[in-house]
Amino acid sequence: MMRICMPTLGGKGLEDQVFDHFGSASFFTIYDTEKKEVEVVENSNQHHSHGACQPLSAIDDQNIDVILTRGMGARAVSFLNEGGIKVYLLEGKTVKDAIEKFEAGELQELSAAGACQGHGCH
């Protein structure tokens, strides 16, 4: 079993559009690979200055194993990795696209060294 989280625009489940910046997303969509179920969580920390985002507080109690994102800062990637959460570079336009690519092993794992250095990187 694995719980995969990604930033999204709204609550449309598998057909929802993925969002470019993890911390500024309005919602996080969580996919449970065992149950094949989707859950949507609102990001109450989407408006923040650079380096001050705390989006993980919105998903802190969701038992996330993997995060898919188009970009994330090095500090956030390191923090997640220390907590046992892997981060992968997201590809695809919808939640369904991203999950299919992840399950096929097509996504690249993001390391702190390859992470964003500012908001303009993705």
pLDDT per position as a tens digit, 73-108: 788 888 888 889 999 999 999 999 999 999 999 999
DSSP annotation of 16 reads P
d(CA 7, CA 21): 7
40, with CB counted inside 10 A (0-12, 13-18, 19+), is: middle
Confidence band (pLDDT; 50, 70, 90) for 113? low
Lowest mean pLDDT among 46-50, 90-94, 101-105, 109-113: 46-50
Q: Which 3 state secondary structure label does DSSP give 88?
A: strand
Residue with token string 């702190």 = 112
d(CA 19, CA 35): 24
Q: What is the amino acid identity at position 81? A: N
| Phi/psi at 105 (5° precision) | 75, 25
99 Ramachandran zone, left/alpha/beta (phi>0; psi -120 to 50): alpha
The overall pTM is greater than 0.85: no
Give the CATH number of domain 3-45+54-117: 3.30.420.130
d(CA 83, CA 14): 26
